[in-house]
Amino acid sequence: MEDKKSNLCLSCDLSTTSEILELADQIGPHICLLKLHIDIVTDFEYSFIEKLQHVAEKHNFLLFEDRKFADIGNTVVHQYRDGVYKIASWAHITNAHTLPGESIISGLASVGKPLDRGLLLLAEMSSANNLFSAEYTSKTVDMAYRNSDFVFGFIAQQHLAHPTESKDMIVMTPGVNMGSSGDSMGQVYRTPDLVVKEMGCDIIIVGRGIYGNSSASPAQRASMFQLAGWKSYLDRIQP
């Protein structure tokens, strides 16, 4: 983030490997992180991962698989390590729901920690009328701090502090756009300024705001989000 002056994560929800590689290369200079849903890729082959890693190294960004694990410990071990995608072998970061209880974290940690991976917990979501309650969020924060050798932050809509721990965790925030308040399927958008400066989030996760319909190119849009996100971040930490 510091090297690139960017707190922008691209949510690259495209369905072919060529589209993903092309967009990643175009907007690579503007992002610190690229988030994928690898299971929506229609022509996946493991060689794609090597190509993506090459682009990530060229532009100095990390890879985040938005897998939202939500099963018992033993099952998530296999989902994270095995199968077609072998997520743990390439995704620096992944995320999990805490609904199944803390054993989901120990299951994922048994695979991810030896590989130096990190986990985000879903503490809140951007979608309208979701079922996340204040109690669920605060229990998720507790779980994160109890497992801070592997969990380093949250997917959330605001800064989340622990009542007694002074160390901070990172907050990555989806549902960010400029000039749109949502989509027809429940997504709710807020601006970079609102989420970073007012709500205390650290990283903005932007998908269709960058590659959706617009007269500007994805690189121009990404540059706009990079500048807006970073300015809001500096405004907050150095008022």
Q: Stretches 69-77, 86-94, 121-129, 230-238: which one binds ligand S5P (CB under 6 A)?
A: 121-129
Distance of alpha carbon 215 from alpha carbon 201, whole angstroms: 29
Tell me the CA distances in angstroms from 201 to 2, 85, 104, 168, 172, one per residue in order.
Answer: 16, 30, 25, 11, 6
Clarify whether 168 is annotated catalytic: no
Of 25, 24, 51, 20, residue with least CA distance to 37: 20
3-class SS of residue 32:
coil
Task: Pick from 107, 153, 175, 218 the residue near ligand S5P by CB under 6 A.
Answer: 175
Helices (H), the chain: 17-27, 47-59, 73-81, 103-112, 134-146, 192, 208-211, 218-237
3-class SS of residue 14:
coil
125 scored as a contact of ligand S5P (CB under 6 A): yes
Q: Which of residues 13-32 bind ligand S5P (CB under 6 A)?
A: 13
Clarify whether 66 is annotated catalytic: yes
* 226 annotated ligand binder: no
Amino acid at the residue 64: F
Draw the binding track, 138-167, toward ligand S5P (x: CB under 6 A; -: no contact): -----------------x------------
Clarify whether 183 is annotated catalytic: no
Q: Which of residues 78-107 bind ligand S5P (CB under 6 A)?
A: none
Could you say which of 51, 68, 113, 231 is catalytic?
Answer: 68
Distance of alpha carbon 83 from alpha carbon 77, whole angstroms: 11
Nearer to ligand S5P, 3 or 131 (CB): 131
Residues at the contact surface with ligand S5P, assessed by CB under 6 A = 11, 13, 37, 66, 125-127, 155, 174-175, 187, 205-209
> From the annotation, which residues make up the binding site?
13, 35, 126, 187, 207-208
